């Protein structure tokens, strides 16, 4: 009970202290995000066994719901917050060596705020609090996209900001409407009362909130900002935006649709949107020559796949979708971090300039290859069991439409394989004329990358280690009555 508020409070307190600490020592500031995410990782994992039996609910300030803010840590929330903390830990260790110029104190402060926004969003049980954490997440990511201050970064940040701010305005409008209809902001209380609300008003409110969150979740057609932002940001920020921020946006959409509104009648619409997102993302990724843009489009495709699996809304498919979310986060963090030092060494983001990197940076290229294979879905990596679960769950659904859609999804996966193998080919099988000397990424950057590579292989070999958590997460999303009862008592 004590641990849950600390997940938000400790990093937030540290983030406020960072600018002051920065006056004393710029070097020390870089270690604070490492400590904060390590703390969050340990606390999140230690809460999981408790949450599997009964969700952990904390009432802020001792106010009983529906007054005051509740934090709700069920299996979904803790799964996501563990993932956020793990990705945050990996990226912040990598950033110790990678972020060496520019306003580093501001970078680390904003990075920590971004992690807090993500953690808070997945743990909160109050819809306005969800909005506030969402804003913390997005405002810090707007600023971080423009970190280098170059033309591309500024342009991408401006696009992202205008789109994101308009979306969050609409989301707030939806929340205001929801408050006017139900008279409460507590998600469980809203869920209990939404049945007696006029359906048209509830739908308008749902649409506004989903649009606001969908912009961050990069659901087609709201994803125009993503390739620019992800490719112009520093590689560490691309990794965290791609591995954490869009997943958290998607979590928001799923939580609102499943738990708050219980809107099972828009799920087919979401499934079709998801397949469109996947096809657009994969086809655009295939056409890219810039490696970071390719990875960014691939994130859009993966988001489509995750949303597809979750919106099919059977217990097995939601578990598969969350599994895919895990394997996407792990793979994309490795891909962006490995690509970061490859770009640093070759001086160009073009895929053609990465030829021969397999002999020049063998360890980095090896990690890149493992993550790419996992994302495509080859055994024995984490991407294989997740994609397998999704396909099996979708085929088990009745109806020809799911067969057609799963066919399109598999077609998207084939395209994904094609463009990743093209990069692998450039890395390992194309030799440069003059042999450059071996110059791998620094050890402090390789350690976190290989930590994730080990996790990818471990989960790929023993998927049973996490399926228990994923199954109870799926049942948390499907059983609204249970959610309402565990908060309101």
Partner 1 sequence: MSFLHNYIYYIGAAGLVLIGLLIILAKHHLIKVIIGLSILDTGVNLFLIAVGYIKDGTAPIFSRPDLDPGRMVDPVPQALVLTSIVIGVAILALALGLAVKLHREFGHLDLRKIKELKW
Binder to partner 1 among 6, 21, 52, 172 (CB under 8 A)? 172
Report if residue 211 touches partner 1, rule: CB under 8 A: no
Q: Which residues pair with 70 in a beta bridge?
A: 59
* Residue span binding partner 1 (CB under 8 A) among the ranges 93-101, 164-172, 198-206, 363-371: 164-172
Please count the residues of this chain forming the interface with partner 1, following the rule CB under 8 A: 35
Q: How far is the CB of 376 from partner 1 (least distance, A)?
A: 23
Report if residue 295 touches partner 1, rule: CB under 8 A: no
Tokens matching residue 20: 């002051």
CB atoms within 10 A of CB 310: 29
Binder to partner 1 among 73, 76, 146, 278 (CB under 8 A)? 146
- Greatest CA span in the chain, whole angstroms? 73
Report if residue 204 touches partner 1, rule: CB under 8 A: no
Report if residue 135 touches partner 1, rule: CB under 8 A: yes
Task: Give the residue among 273, 283, 157 at the shortest CA–CA distance from 211.
Answer: 273
**Residue corresponding to tokens 């471990």:** 458
Report if residue 298 touches partner 1, rule: CB under 8 A: no
State the DSSP code for 322. Answer: H
Task: Give the residue among 210, 188, 220, 203 at the shortest CA–CA distance from 265.
Answer: 203
State how far the Cα of 369 lies from the Cα of 435, in Å rounded to an integer. Answer: 21
State how far the Cα of 142 lies from the Cα of 158, in Å rounded to an integer. Answer: 8
Report if residue 231 touches partner 1, rule: CB under 8 A: yes
Q: How far is the CB of 201 from partner 1 (least distance, A)?
A: 12
Residue 290, φ and ψ in degrees, nearest 5: -90, 125
* Residue span binding partner 1 (CB under 8 A) among the ranges 38-46, 173-181, 187-195, 344-352: 173-181
Q: How far is the CB of 170 from partner 1 (least distance, A)?
A: 8
User: Is the CB of residue 317 less than 8 Å from the CB of residue 393?
Assistant: yes
69-88 residues labelled b (16+ CB within 10 A) or e (exposed): bbbbbbbbbbbbbbbbbbbb
Binder to partner 1 among 45, 97, 132, 408 (CB under 8 A)? 132
* Residue span binding partner 1 (CB under 8 A) among the ranges 169-177, 369-377, 456-464, 466-474: 169-177
Report if residue 221 touches partner 1, rule: CB under 8 A: no
Report if residue 379 touches partner 1, rule: CB under 8 A: no
State how far the Cα of 344 lies from the Cα of 83, in Å rounded to an integer. Answer: 27
Nearer to partner 1, 181 or 391 (CB): 181
Q: What stretches of 377-442 show up as alpha helix (H) in DSSP?
A: 383-396, 400-428
Report if residue 180 touches partner 1, rule: CB under 8 A: yes
Binder to partner 1 among 21, 45, 52, 158 (CB under 8 A)? 158
Nearer to partner 1, 166 or 410 (CB): 166
Report if residue 272 touches partner 1, rule: CB under 8 A: no
User: Is the CB of residue 477 less than 8 Å from the CB of residue 76?
Assistant: yes
* Contacts with partner 1, residue ranges (CB under 8 A): 128, 132, 135, 139, 142-143, 146, 149-152, 154-158, 161-162, 165-166, 168-169, 172-173, 175-177, 179-180, 185, 227-228, 231-232, 284
């Amino acid at each position: 009970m004590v641990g849950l508020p600390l997940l938000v409070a400790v990093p937030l307190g540290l983030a406020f202290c960072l600018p002051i600490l920065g006056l004393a020592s710029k070097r020390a500031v870089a270690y604070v995000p490492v400590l904060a995410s390590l703390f969050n990782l340990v606390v999140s994992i230690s809460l999981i066994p408790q949450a599997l039996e009964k969700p952990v609910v904390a009432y802020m300030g001792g106010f009983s719901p529906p007054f005051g803010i509740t934090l709700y840590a069920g299996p979904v929330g803790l799964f996501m917050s563990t993932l956020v903390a793990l990705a945050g830990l990996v990226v912040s260790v990598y950033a110790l060596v990678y972020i060496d110029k520019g306003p580093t104190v501001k970078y680390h402060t904003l990075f920590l705020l971004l992690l807090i926004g993500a953690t808070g969003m997945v743990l909160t049980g109050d819809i306005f609090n969800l909005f506030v954490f969402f804003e913390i997440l997005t405002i810090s990511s707007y600023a971080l996209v423009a970190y280098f201050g170059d033309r591309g970064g500024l342009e991408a940040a401006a696009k992202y900001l205008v789109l994101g701010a308009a979306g969050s305005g609409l989301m707030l409008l939806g929340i205001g409407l929801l408050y006017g209809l139900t008279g409460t902001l507590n998600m469980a209380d809203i869920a209990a009362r939404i049945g007696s609300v006029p359906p048209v008003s509830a739908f308008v409110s749902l649409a506004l909130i989903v649009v606001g969150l969908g912009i961050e979740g990069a659901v087609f057609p709201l994803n125009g900002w993503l390739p620019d932002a992800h490719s112009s940001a520093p590689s560490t920020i691309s990794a965290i935006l791609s591995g954490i921020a869009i997943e958290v946006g998607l979590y928001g959409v799923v939580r609102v649709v499943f738990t708050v509104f219980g809107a099972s009648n828009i799920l087919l619409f979401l499934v079709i949107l998801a397949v469109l997102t996947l096809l657009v993302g994969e086809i655009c990724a295939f056409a890219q020559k810039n490696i970071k843009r390719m990875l960014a489009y691939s994130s859009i495709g993966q988001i489509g796949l995750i949303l597809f699996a979750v919106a099919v809304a059977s217990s097995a498919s939601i578990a598969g979708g969350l599994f895919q979310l895990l394997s996407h986060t792990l793979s994309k963090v490795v891909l962006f971090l490995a690509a970061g030092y490859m770009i640093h060494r070759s001086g160009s983001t073009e895929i053609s300039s990465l030829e021969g990197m397999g002999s020049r940076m063998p360890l980095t290229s090896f990690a890149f290859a493992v993550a790419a294979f996992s994302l495509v879905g080859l055994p024995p990596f984490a991407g294989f069991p997740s994609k397998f679960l999704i396909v099996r769950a979708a085929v088990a659904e009745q109806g020809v439409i799911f067969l057609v859609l799963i066919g399109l999804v598999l077609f998207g996966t084939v395209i994904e394989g094609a463009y990743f193998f093209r990069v692998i080919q450039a890395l390992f099988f194309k030799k440069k004329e003059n042999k450059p000397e071996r110059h791998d990424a620094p050890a402090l950057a390789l350690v976190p990358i290989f930590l994730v590579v080990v996790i990818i292989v471990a989960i790929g070999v023993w998927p049973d280690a996490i399926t228990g958590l994923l199954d109870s997460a799926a049942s948390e999303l499907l059983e609204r009555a249970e959610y309402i009862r565990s908060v309101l008592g």
